[in-house]
Structure formats: structure tokens, C-alpha cells
Amino acid sequence: METIKLEVGEKPRVKITTIGGDLRLSGRLDTQFEAQAPEQGTLTVDQDGDQIQVSCRSGCLIFLPAAAKVEVEQVGGDARVIGLTSDLMIKTVGGDLSLRRVARSTFELIGGDLHARQVDGDLTVDRIGADAVAEKVEGDVRLRSIGADLVLHKVTGTVEATVGGDASLSLSPQADSTSVVNAGGDLTCRLSEDISAQISMKAGGDMAMPTDVERESENGETVIRLGEAEATIKLTAGGNLWLRVGAREMDFAEDFVGSVMGELDARLAEMEARFNAIGAGMYTFDAERIGERVRRSVERARRKANKAQGRAAKRAEKYARKHGRKHTITIGGPEPRGPAVSEEERMAVLRMLEQGKISVEEAEQLLKSLGGED
């Protein structure tokens, strides 16, 4: 393993031109820059005052001051960034991108999945090839093109997103803001109980919304107004659209899942640090990759459950029509639910993984089974 260490101050400007493999950036509270790569990786680091330029033909692990301003041109593989308090800009990531505890972040192209958690600022991406998941974003979210599904949870700013697949949203928009989400598949949106907004909705399939609100039709859209209607939300779905206001019974369970995932992140990070400390290197043990595989399995199970319930409702409606019975999915109808599998069962799988009783592969298979996958 080749290692380069430099004293750079508290707020260096770091430009990374090309990384041939995976890139991992980790902010820390000191004034030292450290880059690690395999001996054959041709790691190059140039310093000019507080300006640092880096390139590497292979994967690269970089530790740098948390307040560093980072610009990256191209990453051939996956990228993981954690613990940066200043602006981050990456032009191209060939694989997946994982963000944890970062500030304002801007990206042009992510070839695989995006998973962002705890973003203190705006999150902007021009194009995402696969799924996008963003949780706890204290700023605006602009995702201009998503190839697959979108999950947004606890977003306080404006949202602009175009989604090729399904979208699941949890929003708390501010007054005078305008959020627009277009989904090619189904769309589920949950709003805070004290929401003050005008919501315009249009769906190619069925729509469900609260029954205790007034609604009207404008230009082929259904419009409802909540509170003083200070914010504007526009939702379009190629499939079904479900709107919910206030907490639901699963909120506590989801927060519980989030807390356990946070603990899992911390423990995996500790394990990674111990492995690096004894010289095992990042290519022997990748804690983030393991954690992401578990999180994605949980999310796939949830989406699978929602889709299965939606298909069941459609089959029931078709059967009713065939036999001359009255059956419709009415406005105010129930949000799609998963099969009869409790969140506690999923949590039990994660606990067994943490305790070393099952492997990651076994955990994934169990979660797939719980979600109804073959």
C-alpha cells in the first residue's frame, strides 16, 4: 500500500482529476491530508500552498480536513464521501455514490445508485442511472433525471425530480416554495400534519387522498388546499398516486429502522478503522459496501411489498367488474400495504447480522423472502 501524507491546513482546496477504481473520501478534524492506494496504482499528489491535486489509476482512499472544498472530475468505480462540511462537486461517478454527513453537494452524472443521508445543504444531480435515496436533507433537492426509483425521507426544502420508476416522498416544504415531482410509475407522498400548501395531482392510474379536504379540478388535475396554501406542490404519476397528511402507524417503525441503521453504520466504521490500523487495507474489508447491501435489501423489500399490494387491489377491482359487483379504489382509500410481515421480523434479521449469527448473503436472502421475492 502506497501512502502520501501532507500538512495542508484547515481549509484546503482539493481537486481530484481521475480515479480509475473506487474513491473514498473521509473528513476528519485535523490539518493533514492522507492518500492511500495500491503499490501499482500510480498515485500522484501535487501541492501548491493550500491547493492539492490528486490522480490515481486504481482505487484510492483519502483522509482530509473536514472543511476542505473538494472537486472531482471522474471516478471510474464507486464513490463514498463522509464527514465533509464544505462544498462538494463531482462531475462523473461510473458506479454507485454514497454520501454521509456532507454539506452542499453537486453532481453531473452518477452511473449507478445514489444514497445520501444527512446532507446539510442543497443536493443537486443532473442524471442518476439507477435508484436514488435521500434522507434527512436540510436544503433543496434537485434530481433532474432518475433512471429507476426514488425515495426521499425528511426533506425540508424544495424538491424537483423526474423519476423513471416509482417515487416515495416524505416532505415538509417551506412557505413560498414550489416542489415538482414527475414519476413514470407509482407515486406515494406523505406530508407533515401542519402542512400549508396547495397540491396539484395528476395520475395515469388511481388516486387516493385525505377524505376531509375540499378538492377541485383544474386543467385535468385534482387540486386541494391545506392550511393557508403557502407552498406549492405538483405531483404527476404515470401509475397510481397516493397522498397522505400527518403521521401514520408505520412512522415509528421506520424511525426505529433508521436508528438501527445508524448504529450499524457506526459499528461498521469502527471495524473498518481497526482493519486499516492493522494494515489489512481497504480492499480487504469494505464496511460501507456491506452496510449498503443490507440497506438496499431492506428498501427493495419495502418497495416490493407496496407494489404487491397495488397489484392485489387491481386484481380485486378486475374481478369485481367481471362479476358485476361495485368495486372502486376511491379517493381517501388506503395506502398500499405490504404482506403480513412485521417490521420486527426485518429488524430481527439485521440483529442476527450484527451479532454474526448469519452472513450478509444469508441476510439478503432472508430479506428477499420477507419481501416476497423468489
Q: What is the pLDDT of residue 276?
A: 46
The C-alpha atoms of residue 188 and residue 171 are separated, in whole angstroms, by: 11
For the full predicted model, state whether its pTM sits above 0.75. no
Residues in Cβ contact with 162 at an 8 Å cutoff, skipping those fewer than 6 apart: 143, 144, 145, 146, 182
Instruction: Give the CA count within 13 Å in the CB-facing half-sphere of 286.
Output: 17
pLDDT tens readout for residues 84-125? 999 999 999 999 999 999 999 999 999 999 999 999 999 999
Cβ distance 72 to 91 under 8 Å? yes
Q: What are phi and psi of 253, to 5 degrees?
A: -65, -40
Angstrom distance (rounded) from CA 293 to CA 287: 10
Residue 367: per-residue pLDDT? 66
Across 49-158, the runs of DSSP E, i.e. the strands, are: 51-56, 60-65, 69-75, 79-82, 88-93, 97-110, 114-128, 132-137, 141-146, 150-155
Please give the chain's pLDDT, 374 residues, in tens.
Answer: 789 999 999 999 999 999 999 999 999 888 999 999 987 768 999 999 889 999 999 999 999 999 999 999 999 999 999 999 999 999 999 999 999 999 999 999 999 999 999 999 999 999 999 999 999 999 999 999 999 999 998 888 899 999 999 999 988 888 889 999 999 999 999 988 888 999 999 999 999 888 777 788 877 899 999 889 899 999 999 999 999 887 554 443 444 444 444 545 545 554 444 444 444 444 444 545 555 555 555 555 555 555 555 555 555 555 555 555 443 344 444 444 444 445 556 666 676 666 666 666 666 666 666 555 54
Is 173 within 8 Å of 192 (Cβ atoms)? no
pLDDT for position 312? 53
Task: Give the residue ranges of DSSP H helices in the chain.
Answer: 251-277, 287-322, 343-354, 360-370
Residues 265, 263: Cα–Cα separation, whole Å: 5
Q: What pLDDT is recorded for position 328?
A: 37
Q: For residue 251, what pLDDT is reported?
A: 47
Sequence ranges of the domains in the chain: 251-370
The amino acid that residue 33 corresponds to is F
Tell me if 226 sits within 8 A of 312, measured CB to CB: no
Q: How far apart are CA 88 and CA 210, in angstroms?
A: 40
pLDDT of 219 reads 79
Report how far residue 65's alpha carbon sits from residue 80's, in angstroms, rounded to the nearest whole number. 16
Q: C-alpha cell of 301? A: 423489500
Place of cell 471495524: 271
